[in-house]
Amino acid sequence: MDKILLSVFLISLLVAISGNLAVFRKATFLIAGVAHSALAGVALSLLLNSFGITIDCFFLAFIISIVFAILASMISKFSDIDTGIAISFALSMSLAVIFLSLIRGMSAKVWSYLFGEILLVTTQDLIYLTFSAIIAIILFGVLYDRLIFFLFDPEGAEASGISSKLLDLILVTIIAISVVSALRSVGAILAYSIFVAPAAIAKEFSRSVKQSLIITFGITIISLLLGISASFVFPVSASALSAFIASALYLASFYIKSKFFTTAS
């Protein structure tokens, strides 16, 4: 139980940072793209292991996620960001299926990353989460002012001499390392709900970036803890329940804002 609670805390930290970055960047689909690109990395790791080449799946998943996220960013220069993410997403998933077809006997391990299960978190998972949280906090903390400037006024940031390409790379790195480290806990399919919904809620009700970070952190913890608690009552995946609760909270917040705030104005 200590491992589960620690993982909840670390995932909430990562969601607070990377979820808000994705929302402010107006590239929330990047979360899904990174999560599914990581599957190609896991599949490649298993394929290499079958040939006697041992490479940690987290390392490969992170590298491939970064590569495809950068590819999406490059394509967006000529089109929109969603098109770039969709193309890189399709390419990475195609590779994942190809790798899986070559290691049919081990494919079940890859698909365990598809849905995840926070109740089965291991010591190694906690190490990855801790490492990712430290890196994300350091990068976000040191570059906080520049990142916020870039996210809300990219043209102004570029004009003031701030390298938008470098900041975009750092932003993508934070998102990739956060999502990949949480993949075993929340799964590639459910990562989008866990990482995006709390930040989307916070954006609607917060008056500052710092307030948005705090609200996102709180909503994520509530969603995960409620999902874990409900899984002891219902024979359903805790990760799936947590994702459902996070999504339901977003829909509820959307209704509340449209109902009461519109009426008040």
Higher pLDDT, 176 or 1: 176
Q: Does residue 169 or residue 146 have the better pLDDT?
A: 146
Does 82 fall in a domain? yes
Q: Which domain holds residue 196?
A: 2-257
Coil, strand or helix at 62: helix
Task: Report if residue 264 sits inside a domain.
Answer: no
State the Cα–Cα distance between residues 106 and 109, nearest whole angstrom.
Answer: 6
Distance CA 141, CA 205 (A): 23
Q: How far apart are CA 218 and CA 138, in angstroms?
A: 21
Q: Residues 136, 178: contact at Cβ < 8 Å?
A: yes
Is 263 part of a structural domain of the chain? no
CB 134 within 8 A of CB 259: no
| Residues 169, 171, 173, 179, CA torsion sign | negative
Considering its fold, how many domains does the chain have in total?
A: 1
- Do 135 and 64 contact (CB within 8 A), yes or no? no
**Is residue 73 in a domain?**
yes
pLDDT digits (tens, 9 = 90+) for 82-115: 777 777 778 888 888 888 788 766 666 666 777 7
| Structure tokens belonging to residue 226 | 């409620």
DSSP state of 143: T
- For residue 240, CA distances in Å to 57, 229, 244, 255 come to 23, 12, 6, 23
Q: Which amino acid is at 99?
A: F
Q: Mean per-residue pLDDT for 207-235?
A: 93
Quick check: is 13 in a domain?
A: yes
Length in residues, the chain: 265
Q: What is the pLDDT of residue 230?
A: 93
Residue 144 lies in a domain: yes
Query: Which CATH number goes with the domain that contains 103?
Result: 1.10.3470.10
Query: Closest by alpha carbon to 179, among 107, 85, 91?
Result: 85
Query: Is position 174 within any domain?
Result: yes
Supply the pTM of this predicted model: 0.88
CA nearest to 183, candidates 171, 191, 192: 191
> Cβ(190)–Cβ(115) under 8 Å?
yes
262 inside domain: no
pLDDT band at 27 (very low <50, low <70, confident <90, very high): confident
| pLDDT for the residue 140 | 94
pLDDT in tens, 160-196: 888 888 888 888 889 889 988 888 888 877 888 899 9
